[in-house]
């Protein structure tokens, strides 16, 4: 059954890629918060705006499947490379708060009105921090595989060995950050979709803590999924997002 699901997912992604080959992608750069960021844009100019943020060490390509799904559905999708990652020059020091501020200034500079802001892993963390620091910026948020602290489940404890082995500033950031008090999430008032894999590095219990502290939120657990398997070349999150957006009139 597991192999069958993977095969079906592969076929779906292949068909999606073929059907979306006419969805034009443009690459641009922008100056925000003292950083030059590369970003991609897909979808019609008049489409409602969506900003998608990738995980640690990723790029604007990390959430390509979701970007294609949303662009095909008529949304205008923006995928920036986070500071020091993707096509951007690496840095000597990284902090989630800086990345969240980058995204806030990105939204302001492009004049995006209450966009849906979503992210996976580090991108999910940055999504939460952005709306916490600047309440009312987002129309809706999606945080996939986010955590409030490094103490977020047994899977992450095992992951720490890999972090120490890599030893780069970007990766080492995850040993001490983020440090979010669950009660501080209560400032987030927009509809929020919080997701996690059933076999994620981050525990379902930890993710439920996030959802429970955001007044207008819902929790979705992708059974059998790892931290990345429902994201990379997989339509599950995109379908869930489209349903969420539809139900909230976005």
Can you name the CATH fold of 2-247?
Answer: Rossmann fold (3.40.50)
pLDDT at 117: 98
Strands (E), 198-243: 217-222
pLDDT at 157: 86
Mean pLDDT for all residues in the chain: 93
Average pLDDT value for residue range 43-64: 98
Higher pLDDT: 2 or 161? It is 161
**Is residue 10's pLDDT more than 70?**
no
pLDDT at 22: 66
Give the largest Cα separation in the chain, rounded. Answer: 49
Written as six digits, the tokens of 117 are: 């802001």
Average pLDDT value for residue range 131-138: 98
Closest by alpha carbon to 80, among 45, 48, 127, 46? 127
Written as six digits, the tokens of 132 are: 């916490």
- Segment 156-168, tens digit of pLDDT: 888 999 999 999 9
For the chain, give the number of residues.
250
Residue 116 phi, psi (nearest 5) = -75, 125
* Predicted model pTM: 0.91
**Is residue 242's pLDDT more than 70?**
yes
- Segment 15-38, tens digit of pLDDT: 445 444 468 999 999 999 999 999
């Amino acid at each position: 059954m597991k192999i069958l699901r993977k095969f079906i997912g592969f076929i779906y992604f292949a068909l999606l890629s073929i059907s979306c080959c006419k969805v034009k992608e443009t690459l641009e750069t922008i100056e925000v918060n003292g950083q030059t960021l590369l970003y991609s844009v897909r979808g019609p100019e008049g489409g409602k705006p969506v900003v998608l943020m990738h995980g640690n060490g990723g790029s604007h390509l990390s959430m390509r499947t979701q970007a294609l799904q949303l662009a095909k559905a008529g949304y205008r999708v923006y995928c920036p490379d986070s500071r020091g990652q993707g096509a951007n020059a690496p840095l000597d020091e990284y902090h989630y708060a800086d990345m969240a501020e980058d995204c806030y200034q990105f939204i302001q500079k492009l004049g995006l009105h209450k966009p849906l802001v979503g992210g996976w892993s580090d991108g999910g963390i940055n999504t939460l921090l952005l709306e916490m620091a600047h309440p009312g910026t987002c129309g809706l948020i999606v945080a996939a595989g986010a955590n409030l602290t490094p103490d977020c489940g047994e899977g992450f404890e095992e992951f720490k060995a890999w972090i120490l082995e890599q030893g780069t500033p970007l990766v080492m950031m995850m040993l001490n950050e983020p440090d979010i008090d669950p009660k501080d999430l209560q400032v987030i008032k927009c509809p929020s979709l919080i997701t996690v894999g059933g076999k994620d590095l981050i525990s379902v219990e930890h993710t439920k803590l996030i959802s429970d502290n955001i007044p207008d939120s819902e929790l979705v657990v992708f059974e059998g999924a790892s931290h990345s398997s429902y994201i990379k070349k997989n339509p599950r999150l995109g379908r869930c997002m489209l349903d969420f957006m539809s139900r909230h009139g976005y």
